[in-house]
Amino acid sequence: MRVGIMSFAHIHAEGFVGNLRAIPDVELVGFSDEDAGRAARAATAFELRRFDRHEDLLDAGVDAVLVCAENARRRELVELAAAARVHVLCEKPIEATLADAEAMRVACEAAGVTFMTAFPMRFDASVAAVKRSLDRGELGALHAVNGINHSEIPNGHRAWFADPELAGGGAVMDHTVHLTDLLRWMTGSEVTEVYAEVGNPFYPDDVEVDTAGLVTLTFANGVFAAVDCSWSRPTTYPRWGHLKMDLIGERGALTVDAFAQALTAYSRHLPRNPTWIGWGADPNQAMVEEFVESVAEGRPPAVTWRDGYEALRVALACYASAASGQPVRLDHG
C-alpha cells in the first residue's frame, strides 16, 4: 500500500513517519506541504520526498493519506483526497466547524473511500484495559468519570494551535475531543448536555484563545463526567501532556493514567531536564495499523467519521455554553 502525509502542521505527523515505516508492505511515498519552511524542515529531518502541492502527492499514485493540516484546513485536503479516490486518516478535531465536517463525510461517501478519525488513545493499552473491565461489568453500573487532559501551550511552528482562525479555539478545542471520544466509546452512549467554563488564565497577554476549560458532560444513559482541559503545563514539565481518568461505578472505582509508563531521565543533553521517557506501547502505531488494515480489508475502521463529528459537536458546545452561561443540549434524533 502506498501512503502519503498531507501537511506537517500537526505535531503527530512527525511520529506517523516512523509508524508507517514500521508496517510491512506499506510504502511511505512522501509528504505534501505548501508551507515552504515547514516542508524544508520535514524533508531534511525525516529524509522524505517532498511535494510542494497536495495535488502532486495525490497524483503520485497513493492509496491512502494521513491528513495533518491545521484544524480549519482539513476539509480542503480531505476533499482533494476523496476526489482522487484516496482513503483518509484525519487528525482531530476533524475540522473547526460542523458544516465543514459534514462536507468531508459527503465527499468521502460519494467517492466510496474510508474516513478514519485519528483518536490514538482508544488504542492505548491501559485505556483498552479499562474498556474491557467496563464491558465485563467489573465496576457494575458506571456512575461518574473525572478526567483531565493537560499539556503545555503549543509554540514555535506549532503556534497555529493558538490561532483562532486556524484552530477554531484553544485548549478546549485541542483537548476536549480526546476525552469525549473515550467516554462515548466506553459508555456506548451519547452526550446530551454540555456545560463549560472557559477562560485564559495562563497566557492572557500572549494568545487570543482559551488556555483552560472546566467541562461537565451528561450522557443519555445517566453517566456524568467532568473534564479538566488546559495548556497549563510549563515548558519545563518532564513530558508534553497528560491524560488521566477516575471512573466511579456501583461496585468500585478505577483510575487510569495513560502516560504513567515512563522512566525519569536526567541529562543536560535532553530538551527537558528531567524527562519522562515512555516505555509503554505506542498507541499511534496501533491506530495507524488499524487504518491500513481497514483499507486493505475493505471494511469500516474502528474509529469513524461519526466519532470525530460527535467529539467536535461537544467541543463547539463547550464554547456555546461558556458564551451563554447556560448548559447546551445536544439532540441525537
Cα–Cα distances (Å) from 144 to 97, 124, 130, in that order, read 29, 21, 14
Position 239 confidence tier, pLDDT thresholds 50, 70, 90:
confident
pLDDT score for 105? 98
Average pLDDT, the chain: 96
pLDDT score for 219? 98
Check if the beta carbon of residue 219 is closer than 8 Å to that of residue 178: no
Any idea which residue has 466506553 for its cell? 186
pLDDT score for 155? 86
Beta carbons within 10 angstroms of residue 285's beta carbon: 18
Domain borders along the chain are 2-113, 121-282+304-329
User: By 3-state DSSP, what share of the chain in percent is helix, strand and coil, each rounded to 5?
Assistant: 40, 25, 35
pLDDT score for 67? 98
Position 272 confidence tier, pLDDT thresholds 50, 70, 90:
confident
Per-residue pLDDT reduced to its tens digit, 185-201: 999 999 999 999 999 99
Average pLDDT over residues 140-168: 94
The CATH number assigned to the domain with range 2-113 reads: 3.40.50.720
Share of the chain above pLDDT 70, in %: 100
Of residues 157 and 326, more confidence is placed in 326
Average pLDDT over residues 64-91: 98
As separate numbers, helices (DSSP H) first and strands (DSSP E) second, the chain gives 10, 15
Name residue 200's amino acid. N
3-class secondary-structure state, position 219: strand
Rounded distance between C-alpha atoms, residue 88 and residue 212, angstroms? 31
| Prediction pTM value | 0.96
Position 101 confidence tier, pLDDT thresholds 50, 70, 90:
very high
- pLDDT surpasses 80 at 333: no
pLDDT score for 241? 84
> 41-55 burial, b if ≥16 CB within 10 A, otherwise e?
ebbeebebebbeebe
Most confident of 128-137, 238-247, 262-271: 128-137
Of residues 305 and 280, more confidence is placed in 305
- pLDDT surpasses 90 at 28: yes
Per-residue pLDDT reduced to its tens digit, 49-76: 999 999 999 999 999 999 999 999 999 9
Average pLDDT over residues 220-245: 93
Rounded distance between C-alpha atoms, residue 82 and residue 175, angstroms? 27
Assign a CATH topology to domain 121-282+304-329: Dihydrodipicolinate Reductase; domain 2 (3.30.360)
- pLDDT surpasses 90 at 280: no
